[in-house]
Each structure stands twice: as C-alpha cells, then as structure tokens.
Amino acid sequence: MSFPRASGILLHPTSLPSQFGIGDLGKEAYQFADFLASTRQRLWQVLPLGPTGYGNSPYQCLSVFAGNPLLISLERLVEDKSLEPADLDDIPSFPKDRVDYDSVIKFKTPLLKKSFETFQRKAAPGKQKQFEVFCQQNASWLETYSLFMALKEAHGLAAWNTWEEDIRRRHPKSLERWSKKLTHEIYCHKYQQYQFFKQWSKLKKYCNERGIRFIGDMPIFIALNSAEVWSHPEMFYLDDSDNPTVVAGVPPDYFSKTGQLWGNPLYHWDVIARDGYAWWIERFRATRDMVDIIRLDHFRGFEKYWEIPATDTTALNGRWVLGSGAELFQAVQNALGALPIIAEDLGVITPEVDALREQFGFPCMKVLQFTFGSDPKADDYRPHNYSRNCVVYTGTHDNNTTIGWFREEDVNDSTQSRKEREREKQVALKYLGTDGHEINWDFIRLALMSPADTAIIPMQDILGLGSEARMNLPGTTEGNWCWRFVPDMLTKEIKARLKKLTALSRR
C-alpha cells in the first residue's frame, strides 16, 4: 500500500511539555497538533501507547490492548468534573525536560483513583451509561486486563508467574474468588481505560480534522509480564513454572557486539495458527481502530526470528527460526482488508524478508544515519536511489539524535570503530555538500527532498538537540524513555524553517 507524499514528526506523548511531570493527552497535545498543521506536517508518529511496566519501556507493555493511564490528562478530568480544581493545587516540582517515572506514578495514581471514586458517586446517568457501553464493547480484552492489573496490585506488583498456582494457571474457581474480592479495584482499572480511550479518541479526531494522521507502533513481541501471556500461555514457549524456555533478541549488530537480548517470550506459531490467527487479527483490529497507520516493529521476525536460550546472558548463541510468514498477513487481510502498514525492516534483511514485505506491498524504512557506510552496496541505500514506496527517517527512537551522531556522542552504543565513524561522516558531508554546522537541518532537508513518499523527523532533530535528548539506547535498561521538550525550544524561526522546507519538497 502506497501513501500520499507527506511528512511528519516522531514524538511520543510522554515527551510533550506538562506541569504534571509527563506529557499527556491534554492541552499541550492539542498545541502540538496545531504546530504540525501550521508547518504542513501531516503525520504524528508515536511509540506503543500501552501501560508500561519495569523500565518504563513502551515496548514492554502490561497489555497490547490497553492504554497507558499515565497519559490521562488530569486537567481533562477536572473539566469532566471527576476531579476538583483543588485536587491539582499541590503539584510537585517535576523536572521540565525529563520524566521522573517514580515521582509521576506516586503523584498521579492516587488522583486517578480519586477520580474513579468521584465518578462513581457523582457522574450523571448519561456518563455512567457511556462507561458501561465502553466496558461492554471492549469486554474481550478489558475484563482480563483489569483483573490482571488488580491481581498485580494485590501481589505487590510481582510478575504473574510468581503468583499462587491456582490464579497463575487461571483456575475457574480462583478467578471467580479473586474477581469478587477485587471488584472495586477491577472497576477502577476499567474506568482508567475508559478515560484514556475517551481522551485519545478526542485528540485523534482533532488531528484527523486538521489533516493529521497518527502512525502507531505495533511491536512483534510482547512482554512476559503482560495480561496476554498470563491469559494465553499456550501461545508461548514456557516451561512448567511459566518461565520462558527461549526468548527474543537479535544477533550482533550496529548497536551491540553481543547482540540485543530483549527477553520477550517467543510465539508457538503452530498453536496460534490453529484458530486462524484469531488473537493476531484482534490485535491488528484494535491497533487499526486506535491509529491511522501501523508501523510494524521488527518486521523481519515474521519471516525468521532470532531464538535465544532463556538462560543465556547475551544474544550470541541464538539461531534463526521460521516465523509465521505470509500466512499471518493473509489471514489478517482476509479478515480486515488491506491495512495501512509500514514494515520496520531494519537489521539483518534477507531476500526472503524483502519478498514477504513486497508480497503485501508494505513500505520499507530508510534511516539516514545508516546511509553513508562503506558497504559495497552502499550506493543502493543513498537517498537519490530510494523508491517512492518507503518511509525515510533522519533517525528513530533507537538512534542517537542527528547532532549526537555527528559529534560522536554516546559512541559506545555502536560496534563501529572511530575510523569507520569518521569515514562515514566525511561521506555524509561530501554527499550533502555541507560543512556540518547545521547537520540536523541538512539531514531534514535530505529526507524531505528524497523520492520517499513519507518522511518522518524525530522532534529532537527539529529542535537541534544532542545526545542529552536521546530517547533510547538499545541494550540498556536505565535512563531511557525519559526525554521531554520544553515549549521555549520550539521557536518561531524553527517553525518557519520547517514549513518552508516542507512546502519546497511538495509534502
């Protein structure tokens, strides 16, 4: 599926400005949408929007169907009369440019619970009915998720595979007993999901009315500590104690000499295929309903994935194993029609991976930071040779910022030698015809002017920031997913420059 020529910005909602310590779905999100529209941007790419667990990674969510309650706007809850204005009088002094997740959770969770209790007591019958309808329409995942979250809280947030065997294995009598015991907590989690999707739907409608479409991220693998693995253990390679026997990752690559050990449980594809990939169809359906375009993360894993023994501490000793292949995408297409999907096909790509992507017409990804290497086929990856049916990025959430890359900040994140990095920079400067003093704008211009139908620029590159603004450093578990921008960074000059370049590139 090809897309109209357009450009947009990669910015996760947590990175928006906010007085509440984390970006949310409130007024600043609408201001960002206005900025996109005013500069001719037609796409807003976000990372997975689910509730995050340990490490705060949106790629290790507690559910693939639920939304992250930390993104709920407290100000919108005041407008909804489920919080009082006085409830927001005592706001802690949060960092302006970073998310301190522990502090945010400590501050925001009690207010979300208070909002639920107020809603129970005071909400008008019409609003109560809306909540009931939401619960009915989303019961297929909401019942399991809400019970799962209530159980996690009752077990001190411990992973589900450490719970007592009867509830860990979902024995019917145990499920019934816990559901009765935790009724209030279960409904509180349902209410938070109601508010999240209510706020998200309003923001999406606002964006769509202004010609802005959302690109949403859909990871291939899901977290062990999630409602879906707890409720469908048969779909994964788990032992008798519900621990993974093999886990996901990738072999040594640009980011790591020992590969990346993600730790996600791997799918029993033969089991999943028995009911026509029903779980995956529902997952695609839910994501399609939430965003306009799906970015399918680690697409190559559907052709072959890197299987690592769960006892290993690095990804070195893995092996390539056949994935679902075309069967999954054919089943999804038969059920839902042709979906607007972008294939994240970075990494070790084979002709078989390319063939799978081309079979369904999914646009591929191009990243400018990977464009100027010394590979014998490097010229094939230069922007002037891009096909139209692709998406070009200056960098992704896993890359350094363009300025950080050029200045060789965070050099330890790469397997390249200093000599190789310097040679790569010189090729880039020669190709761009620049001295590199505004390398971020050089890259932005190159992306926008390329033949690619779609160009996406991380917000950090628009603002001209270095490694201090990096979103994620692959292979590490601390200090990631925290970056936020401060409103003063987005100057009139930056807005005017982006608008002019976008117009010149006919996007």
- Per-residue pLDDT, 381: 81
Which residues are designated catalytic?
297, 344, 398
Q: Which residues pair with 391 in a beta bridge?
A: 365, 454
- Per-residue pLDDT, 59: 95
DSSP classification of residue 453? S
Q: How many angstroms separate the CA atoms of 105 and 95, rounded?
A: 14
Q: How many residues does the chain have?
A: 507
Residue 121 included in any domain: yes
Q: How many angstroms separate the CA atoms of 108 and 72, rounded?
A: 9
Smallest CA-to-CA distance from 19 within 80, 78, 82, 81 is with 78
3-state SS class at 324:
coil
Residue 191 included in any domain: yes
Residue 290 included in any domain: no
Residue 420 included in any domain: no
pLDDT (tens, 9 = 90+) of the chain, 507 residues, equals 779 999 999 999 999 999 999 999 999 999 999 999 999 999 999 999 999 988 999 999 999 999 999 999 999 999 999 999 999 999 999 999 999 999 999 999 999 999 999 999 999 999 999 999 999 999 999 999 999 999 999 999 999 999 999 999 999 999 999 999 999 999 999 999 999 999 999 999 999 999 999 999 999 999 999 999 999 999 999 999 999 999 999 998 766 788 889 999 999 999 999 999 999 999 999 999 999 999 999 999 999 999 999 999 999 999 999 999 999 999 999 999 999 999 999 888 899 999 999 999 999 999 999 998 877 566 778 999 999 999 999 999 999 999 999 998 665 555 677 888 889 899 999 999 999 999 999 999 999 999 999 999 999 999 999 999 999 998 788 899 999 999 999 999 999 999 999 999 999
3-state SS class at 96:
coil
- Per-residue pLDDT, 321: 97
Smallest CA-to-CA distance from 57 within 433, 477, 451, 461 is with 477
Provide the residue range defining the domain that includes 4: 1-216+477-507
| 3-state SS record for 184-218 | HHHHHHHHHHHHHHHHHHHHHHHHHHCCCEEEEEE
Contact criterion met (CB below 8 Å) for 335 and 275: no
Q: How many angstroms separate the CA atoms of 143 and 391, rounded?
A: 37
Residue 431 included in any domain: no
Contact criterion met (CB below 8 Å) for 40 and 507: yes
Residue 455 included in any domain: no
Distances (CA, A) of 416 to 255, 382, 403: 9, 19, 17
DSSP classification of residue 401? P
- Per-residue pLDDT, 376: 59
Contact criterion met (CB below 8 Å) for 50 and 66: yes
Residue 285 included in any domain: no
Distances (CA, A) of 192 to 14, 113, 181, 299, 443: 17, 8, 19, 31, 40
Query: What H or E segment, with its residue span, contains residue 136?
Result: helix 125-137
Helix extents (H) in 384-470: 402-406, 418-432, 439-449, 459-463
Query: What H or E segment, with its residue span, contains residue 308?
Result: strand 304-309
CB burial of 69-86 (b: ≥16 within 10 Å; e: otherwise) equals bbbbbbbbbbebebbeee
What CATH number does the domain containing 1 carry?
3.20.20.80
Contact criterion met (CB below 8 Å) for 341 and 296: yes
Residues with Cβ within 8 Å of 388's Cβ and at least 6 positions away in sequence, in order, are 2, 451, 452, 453
Task: Give the chain's domain count.
Answer: 1
Distances (CA, A) of 202 to 209, 274, 394: 11, 38, 30
Residue 343 included in any domain: no
